A = this chain, B = another copy of it.
């Protein structure tokens, strides 16, 4: 692995653990086993490194979270797969993001403080939310979601649930509690389907509508 790649990769990990502001260049130098000269030979400044790392992080995010989605036709199954990927392939990815979701870390440390950096990070959030919204809309059109489901509110639930889950995963670093919170979102999504779609809703009692 070339030095430049070592620097970006170690920065990715350190930023996800400590954030950008609290990671010093000496931290990065040590992790990448290099020196000031080695670092500044490849990057003009810490901020230049940030922008490059952000782009890399976004591309890894896409590769992890959107994995296998294009092989799925059903929009609601796509959302489900996205949540599973988010849980298993992205948040649990210790190799790239040992400190949890790097975008959440960035957004918390940059708001009120570094609006120019914040903006770049926020774009990713907007994109994810729009994607969720579009998938749910399309799922509703196809009859995969009940007709009275409000897709705006469902998007809010899933989106804020994803962000909240990753914050809480950072707090306790417990795989089982991450599974619980993402699985709650998946069950919620399943619950939006029409009753004749429900095959594995796994609620306490099954299908109370029939009982009425």
Contacts and interface: CB of A to CB of B under 8 A. Distances in A.
Q: Is the interface of A mostly helix, strand, loop or mixed?
A: helix
A111 B171 contact: yes
Interface in A101-128: 104-105, 107-109, 111-113, 118, 121-122, 125
A174 to B, nearest CB: 11
B108 A170 contact: yes
Contact of A19 (B17, B109, B167): B109
A119 to B, nearest CB: 10
A191 to B, nearest CB: 9
Given A107-B167, A108-B104, A108-B108, A113 B153 contact: no
B111 A99 contact: yes
A112 B184 contact: no
Interface stretch (A29-37, A56-64, A67-75, A156-164): A156-164
Interface string A13-34: 0000111011000000000000
B118 A99 contact: no
Q: How many copies does the complex hold?
A: 2
Tell me which of A99, A121, A153, A204 has the highest count of chain B C-beta atoms within 10 A of its own C-beta.
A153
25 contacts: A17-B112, A18-B112, A18-B113, A22-B22, A22-B109, A104-B167, A108-B109, A109-B109, A122-B171, A125-B171, A148-B206, A150-B187, A150-B203, A152-B180, A153-B180, A154-B184, A156-B184, A157-B157, A157-B185, A159-B164, A160-B165, A160-B185, A164-B164, A167-B167, A212-B212
Interface of A: 17-19, 21-22, 98-100, 104-105, 107-109, 111-113, 118, 121-122, 125, 146-150, 152-154, 156-157, 159-165, 167-168, 170-173, 180-181, 183-185, 187-188, 203-206, 208-209, 212
